[in-house]
Amino acid sequence: MKTLAFKMKLKPGCRDEYKKRHDEIWPELKELLKSSGVFDYHIFLDDETDILFAVQKVDGDGGSQDLGMNPLVQKWWSFMEPLMETNPDSSPVTIPLEEVFYME
C-alpha cells in the first residue's frame, strides 16, 4: 500500500458546484476506483487560493489519475472540466506532491 498526494486548481466561484458533484459521485465511478485499488480518498480545498489537495491510499502501482484510458473516467473528466484547470484531454491538471514527513 502507498499514499499518493497531489494538488489541482479549481476555477474561481466553482466551490459549491465542485462539492455538489462529488457529493453525488457516480456509483459506477466509485466502484471503478475501489476495484482499481484506490481507497481512503480525500480532497480538501484552500478557499483562499482555490487549490485542491488530494490524498489517497492505493493498493497497486497506480492511483486515480492513472485510469485516464477508461471511458467512464474520461466522461467524469469532461463533466468536471468546466470547474477546474484541465489538460487538452479534459483531465485535471495535477501536480504530484512529495511526502516529506510522516508520523504513525
pLDDT at position 66, please? Answer: 67
Residue 68 within a domain? yes
Q: What is the pLDDT of residue 29?
A: 96
Q: 32 in the Ramachandran plot: left (φ > 0), alpha (ψ -120 to 50) or beta?
A: alpha
CATH of the domain at 57: 3.30.70.100
The edge-to-edge listing of strands for the beta sheet with 2-9 is 38-46, 51-58, 2-9, 95-96
Please report the pLDDT score of residue 65 as a whole number. Answer: 72
What are the Cα distances from residue 5, in Å, to 41, 43, 56, 66? 10, 10, 7, 13
pTM for this prediction:
0.90
22 part of the active site = yes
- Domain assignment present for residue 100? The answer is no
- Strand, helix or coil for residue 19: helix
Q: Does residue 74 lie within any of the structural domains?
A: yes
Assigned domain for 104 exists: no
Structural domain contains residue 103: no
The whole-number pLDDT of residue 61 equals 74
Residue 54 CB neighbours (<10 A):
19
User: Does residue 70 belong to any structural domain of this protein?
Assistant: yes
- The active-site residue, picked from 22, 30, 34, 42, is 22
Q: What is the pLDDT along the chain (104 residues), one digit of tens a residue?
A: 999 999 999 999 999 999 999 999 999 999 999 999 999 999 999 999 999 999 999 997 777 776 878 999 999 999 999 999 999 999 999 999 999 999 98
Domain that holds residue 80: 2-95
Count of domains forming the chain: 1
Q: Report strand pairing: 38-46 vs 2-9.
A: unpaired
